[in-house]
Structure 1
Amino acid sequence: MASVVIYTRQFCGYCSAAKKLLETKGAKYVEHDATYAPDVRQKMIEKSNGGTTFPQIFINNIHVGGCDDLQALERAGKLDGMLAA
């Protein structure tokens, strides 16, 4: 199973939707909540090459993007392959 990391913040509908999609796929993920942690947010921005919106998702250290990007991978039939790698 792939290594999945997701940077989130509390009360974020997109974060909840992304986590729900990952959970329906049976993917385990490491969540970093940046709500009250500016250092975690800064690390997310650096790791994602400037991504400041939530969530920011990484699969096998590859920056996928946000919730819309994750859902686009699912619609294109590519998410399962990435999660299986």
Structure 2
Amino acid sequence: MQVVRAEAIAVGTPPLTSVEVVNMVLSQDSSNGTFLKNAGIAECSSRSRSSGEDALHSQLAAEKECSAALQAQMDVLKKDNERTKSDFLMLK
């Protein structure tokens, strides 16, 4: 069991938030990871993904790829639009 040592707090220093306290405790040498095990939280690397998770990751990858393709098309259309505006202004 680890011992958390109290540190002196300077006058006027705001108290730590609960997130900061948990982060501080977890950042200490926790090589055995008993806190996470006791809390029922397994590390992602120590468990295998279910088929549902694999399907979601595949779907997310496909959507990211589609989004990138759409962004590329938008960039081309923006350039074409700017060129068309420039040509139109030259004709005026």
Please classify the TM superposition score into its range, dividing by the shorter chain length. under 0.3
Look at both structures and tell me which one has the larger radius of gyration over its CA atoms: 2
Superposition TM-score, scaled by structure 1 size: 0.20
Superposition TM-score, scaled by structure 2 size: 0.19
| Higher strand proportion (structure 1 or 2) | 1
Higher relative contact order (CA 8 A, sep 6+): 1
| Higher helix proportion (structure 1 or 2) | 2
